Structure 1
Amino acid sequence: MGGTGKTTMAKEVGQQVESKPFDKVIFTNVSTPVDEKRIRDDVVKQLGLQLEEEKKLTHAQQIWTKIANAGRVLIILDDVWEKLNLESIGIQPGFHRTGTCNILLTTRNENVCTQMGCQKRKIIHLDALPEKDALNLFLFHAIEIGQDCPDDLKKVALDIVNECGRLPVIIVVAAKTLKDWLVKKWQDSLTALRNTEPSRHEIVDEVEMRFYNSLKLSYTSLKDRKAQVLFLLCSIFPKAYEIPIELLSKNSISVGLFGEFDKYNIARSQVNVVNNKLINSSLLLKADEECVKMHDVIREVALEIANEKVQVLMDFKPKLKEYEIFILDHKRLL
Structure 2
Amino acid sequence: MTRLNVFNINLPTELNPPGSETILKISTKYLEGLKDVESTKAYIISEIKNVKTHVVIGLHGMGGIGKTTLMQEINNEFEKDPHKRFTFVIMAIVSDSPNIKKLQNQIGERVGLNIQNIESETVRASRLLKRLKNESIVIILDDIWNAHDLSTIGIPRGNGENKCCKIVLTTRNEDVCKQMNADPIIHMACLNHNQA
Secondary structure of the 2:108 match is helix
Summarize the Cα distance change of 1:73–1:96 in structure 2 as closer, same or farther, 3 Å threshold.
farther
2:90 aligned with 1:26 = yes
2:123 aligned with 1:58 = yes
Counterpart Cα distance in 1 of 2:180 and 2:162: 24
Q: 34-43 or 72-81: which moved more?
A: 34-43
Q: Which amino acid aligns with 1:132?
A: N
The structure whose RCO (Cα within 8 Å, separation 6+) is larger is 2
1:40 is matched with 104
Structure 1 or 2, whichever has the larger Rg, is 1
1:90 is matched with 154
Counterpart Cα distance in 2 of 1:97 and 1:110: 26
2:13 is matched with none
Counterpart Cα distance in 2 of 1:96 and 1:47: 21
Counterpart Cα distance in 2 of 1:77 and 1:98: 18
Secondary structure of the 1:37 match is helix
Summarize the Cα distance change of 1:94–1:50 in structure 2 as closer, same or farther, 3 Å threshold.
same
1:6 is matched with 67
1:123 is matched with 185
User: In the TM superposition, what is the alpha-carbon distance from 1:21 to its structure 2 partner?
Assistant: 2.8
2:140 is matched with 76
Q: Which amino acid aligns with 1:10?
A: M
Gaps of 5+ in 1: 135-334
2:169 aligned with 1:100 = no
Gaps of 5+ in 2: 1-61
User: In the TM superposition, what is the alpha-carbon distance from 1:53 to its structure 2 partner?
Assistant: 4.5
Summarize the Cα distance change of 1:130–1:47 in structure 2 as closer, same or farther, 3 Å threshold.
same
Counterpart Cα distance in 2 of 1:99 and 1:116: 16
Greater fraction of residues in helix: 1
Contact 2:68-2:142 at 8 Å conserved across structures? yes
* 1:166-315 superposed matches below 5 A: none
TM-score of the two chains, using structure 2 as the length reference = 0.59
Counterpart Cα distance in 1 of 2:148 and 2:161: 24
User: In the TM superposition, what is the alpha-carbon distance from 1:17 to its structure 2 partner?
Assistant: 2.8
RMSD: 2.3
Counterpart Cα distance in 2 of 1:129 and 1:61: 42
User: In the TM superposition, what is the alpha-carbon distance from 1:85 to its structure 2 partner?
Assistant: 2.0
Contact 2:132-2:156 at 8 Å conserved across structures? no
Q: Which amino acid aligns with 1:69?
A: N
Q: Which amino acid aligns with 2:131?
A: K
Summarize the Cα distance change of 1:13–1:96 in structure 2 as closer, same or farther, 3 Å threshold.
farther
Secondary structure of the 1:12 match is helix
Number of residue pairs matched by the alignment: 129
2:182 aligned with 1:133 = no
Counterpart Cα distance in 1 of 2:111 and 2:181: 25
